[in-house]
Structure 1
Amino acid sequence: MSNSTKQFNIHEDWTVVILGFLIIGISLFIFLPEIPIFSWSSVSDLKEKVLNSENLQIIGIQFLYLIAIGIVGTFLVGKSVKYFLAVFPIVYILTLLALLAAGNSEIKALNLEAVIFSLLIGLVIGNFFKLPDWFRNALSTELFVKIGLVLLGTSVIFSDILKAGSLGLFQALIIVLSVWYFAFWLCRKLKVDDELTMMISSAVSICGVSAAIATSGAIKGDSKKLSYVISIVLVTAIPMMIFMPVIARYFNFPEEVTGAWLGGSIDTSGAVVASGTLVGETALKISTIVKFSQNVLLGLAAFAISVYWTYSHNKSAEAVESKPTLKVIWERFPKFVIGFIAASLIFSFLITPEVRDTVKDSLKTLQGIWFALAFTSIGLETNFKDLLAYNSRKPLFAFLIAQLFNVIVTLIIAFLLFG
């Protein structure tokens, strides 16, 4: 890498804040990207709806839009733009295959999200084909996922949460604190390493994948360990999404209780919506509000985790005699959290509902595609067999036990607050 490139190097977290608000600004004032169609039910339907010239043109424009943002980000963080241009089209095509798979009507009926296929496609290729080192090094996983997290802030609207009253937020707060501490205690008892302990605790208690990613950013965690946690979250969310509504129906739980139970214990937003839909409109509304309430706590949790991590893992020479200074805490603080919170505040209080309704679908689609690109990249850079062998089964046991605790505690609290 040349010296001329290095002098433009900006901290990656600040870069994603810049890029996130660049995307938001473009959507609000300049250009609202059209949403490609990926829904299909048969081969003929695939040709007519997805592979027609108009939709392919929209996909092509989306590709140019994403790669342009990616080039700016790659340049700002001081990585090779040449290698990015070589790698990004491949990652994008693989992600399109995941979106096509998830768009099939039979797959949709199973409520499987595109990010699951993105991760699986990446893992298959990354584990069965030898990718060159320059290819893996050019993957912009953290850049993609943190842009998605900043855009996630645009969907966390405080007014929507407040309309449902304080119960949802109160429940989210109790669950996050109690489940996080239990998961943390359990991981320590099982001697799970510190990075996995933090990621597992946050994933189980807050909001699954997004919380694991935010925590990894806050502690500058290993991306392979993050991939491991994300895989567990996605795999366990599927049976929970299917069987929890069945259990609720069998025991005749009230819809309000069921919604609060689903929203507080299922770890991915898509799975929460899917399972809430299986129960009814009231359950869907409350489950979504509870999950959004947990998303609101994501920024605060990432801040608290970054401060804790700085104090407990400060290896500098000064740490022997003193605790980290505010400067050290600020340097280690995940700046993308500022973007997430700022986006949420702007879309909650400064933008009119009419404008918000105009741009929300487009921004949600962009958020989804950045996450999908990130999951494809995570799969490509992860040697899953080595990771499983290295970590044994303790992290998996810790996650499953903590998730069981989460399900039980959330149900009790749901009955106390909504029963």
Structure 2
Amino acid sequence: MSRADAAPGTDAAPEAPARRTSTGRRALWTGIGAIIVFGLAGLVQYLTDAVPALAAGTWFGDIAESIEYPIYAIALGFLANAVLSLCGIRDRMEAAFRTELFIKIGLVLLGATINFAIFVKAFGPAVIQAVCLIAIVFAFTWWFAGVLGLDDRLRALLASALSICGVSAAVAAAGAVRAKKEQLAYTATLVIVFAVPSIFLLPWLAGLLGLPPAVTGAWIGGNIDTTAAVTAAGTVAGEQPLQIASIVKVTQNALLGFVAVLLTLYFTLRVDRRAGAGEAPASGAAADAGAPRPRAWAMVWDRFPKFVLGFLFASIIATVLGATMDPAVLEPRLDAAKELQVWALSLAFVSIGLEFTVSSVREAGWKPILVFTAATLVNLVAGLGLALLLFSSFEF
């Protein structure tokens, strides 16, 4: 009997064990990657405690005291990235590098350490700053990217990432405007490349300028693109700047769904309609341009970062317990939440270093890099002005 006459499915039978083997290998490499991530996070905890003790009384003692755990975590992540890449096995472990998941867990736990009264007090200025910064940075990025002739969909991704919350905003915008995966990869890479130096640059600049803690936190939260990097920079700057930076960032994150809806409406009513009228569609348009789009409010909820609700809920619960529970009973539990928060954030910061790829930077091209650089400078200046205007008189 010829192969053509074979019963349907006969040829597929040998493929099933191969698929199972492939799945098993992926699971094995993911498990190994998870062990590495958790092992590095454990090493971060050890170094944070041991280095200052070992360096006490030496010239390095004061410096060691000022080094916070995010610095160790990111440095170890990049070092492990280099080693694993040289060995040719980093890509096999990518599924274990879950920066977004770890940072969301860490931020929900961080909410338990912030008195809800502080959130209520900072919410008004945070909303004003978020709306103004999103409008200023988005408009500038959209305009400048257009001047350089970038595709409308890539312009939307860059503007969303720069003005709201980095990779998460770029992903939401990509779904709203139906961008190419390559465009999303360019944008995500640029977000990481620009965010990592900001973790150390902004706290240093804030100290150099003598900014108060609340202004420092508002500047960090409003300017650094990724929530993970905001948390790292806030930790470096101090406990009070971290609280304000987190509040400002989650406020920006909460506006993500509304921006995604506006982008959807713009591309539906103008860009896609223009293409349907005879103009060539913008490069990067997805093949399913005619597919139905979700309703506006459904998209708002779909894009809304749910961890923001967890952050608020944890803050409310901790505040209520603080007012009703014996401190001797409550404090150990809050300390445990703080310890878990540090672990979750350490895992996120290690993953930042492990996720970085040099090849993506080379593929991005010079025009998006120029747009990102110019818009970042605008964000820094506008963000500092708004932080000074809105948070100079803030008291904890």
Say if 1:266 and 1:314 are closer, same or farther in 2 by CA, change over 3 A.
Answer: closer
> Which of 255, 258, 262 is equivalent to 1:304?
258
Distance in 2 separating the partners of 1:225 and 1:102:
33
Once the two structures are superposed, the pairs formed by residues 82-97 of structure 1 within 5 Å of their partners are 82-96=28-42
> Which of 369, 386, 391 is equivalent to 1:413?
386
Q: Is the 8 A contact 1:303 1:334 kept in 2?
A: yes
Give the number of aligned pairs.
321
The RMSD of aligned alpha carbons is 4.3
- Give 1:364 deviation, angstroms: 1.2
Q: Is the 8 A contact 1:153 1:344 kept in 2?
A: yes
Runs of at least 5 residues in structure 2 that lack an aligned partner in the other structure: 1-14, 53-62, 176-180, 268-283, 323-329
Distance in 2 separating the partners of 1:344 and 1:265:
20
Q: Secondary structure at the match of 1:116?
A: helix
Which position in structure 2 is the counterpart of 1:130? 88
Distance in 2 separating the partners of 1:173 and 1:328:
19
Cα deviation code 1:207-253 (max 9, x no counterpart) = xxxx224225434765675244213211134233213321x24xxx7
Say if 1:241 and 1:101 are closer, same or farther in 2 by CA, change over 3 A.
Answer: same
Distance in 1 separating the partners of 2:186 and 2:201:
24
Residue 389 (structure 1) aligned with residue 389 (structure 2): no
Which position in structure 2 is the counterpart of 1:292? 246
Distance in 2 separating the partners of 1:155 and 1:288:
10
Q: Is the 8 A contact 1:260 1:414 kept in 2?
A: yes
Say if 1:85 and 1:411 are closer, same or farther in 2 by CA, change over 3 A.
Answer: closer
- Give 1:360 deviation, angstroms: 3.0
Distance in 2 separating the partners of 1:161 and 1:227:
32
Say if 1:324 and 1:262 are closer, same or farther in 2 by CA, change over 3 A.
Answer: closer
Distance in 1 separating the partners of 2:261 and 2:139:
16
Distance in 1 separating the partners of 2:193 and 2:45:
18
One-letter identity of the residue aligned with 1:148:
I
> Which of 157, 177, 180 is equivalent to 2:138?
180
- Give 1:401 deviation, angstroms: 1.8
One-letter identity of the residue aligned with 2:236:
A
Which position in structure 2 is the counterpart of 1:60? none
One-letter identity of the residue aligned with 2:370:
F
Q: Is the 8 A contact 1:119 1:375 kept in 2?
A: yes
Runs of 4+ with deviation above 6 angstroms: 193-196, 253-256
Once the two structures are superposed, the pairs formed by residues 222-237 of structure 1 within 5 Å of their partners are 222=184, 225-237=187-199
Greater Cα offset, 307-316 or 346-355: 307-316
Distance in 1 separating the partners of 2:32 and 2:93:
9
The percent of aligned pairs where both chains have the same amino acid is 18
> Which of 231, 248, 262 is equivalent to 1:269?
231
Distance in 1 separating the partners of 2:170 and 2:110:
22
Residue 325 (structure 1) aligned with residue 280 (structure 2): no
Once the two structures are superposed, the pairs formed by residues 399-410 of structure 1 within 5 Å of their partners are 399-410=372-383
Which position in structure 2 is the counterpart of 1:368? 345
Residue 120 (structure 1) aligned with residue 87 (structure 2): no
Once the two structures are superposed, the pairs formed by residues 69-218 of structure 1 within 5 Å of their partners are 80-96=26-42, 104-105=51-52, 106=63, 109=66, 113-131=71-89, 136-141=91-96, 143-156=98-111, 158-164=116-122, 166-191=124-149, 200-202=158-160, 204-206=162-164, 211-218=165-172
Distance in 2 separating the partners of 1:85 and 1:323:
39
Q: Looking at CA atoms only, which structure, 1 or 2, has the larger radius of gyration? A: 2
Q: Is the 8 A contact 2:137 2:375 kept in 1?
A: yes
Q: Secondary structure at the match of 1:362?
A: helix
Distance in 1 separating the partners of 2:25 and 2:186:
20
- Give 1:345 deviation, angstroms: 3.7
- Give 1:397 deviation, angstroms: 2.7
Distance in 1 separating the partners of 2:101 and 2:151:
24
Q: Secondary structure at the match of 2:166?
A: helix
Q: Secondary structure at the match of 2:255?
A: helix
> Which of 197, 201, 206 is equivalent to 1:244?
206
Cα deviation code 1:116-158 (max 9, x no counterpart) = 2144224423543322xxx624422564522432442343455
Q: Is the 8 A contact 1:227 1:378 kept in 2?
A: no
Q: TM-score, normalised by structure 1?
A: 0.60
- Give 1:88 deviation, angstroms: 2.5
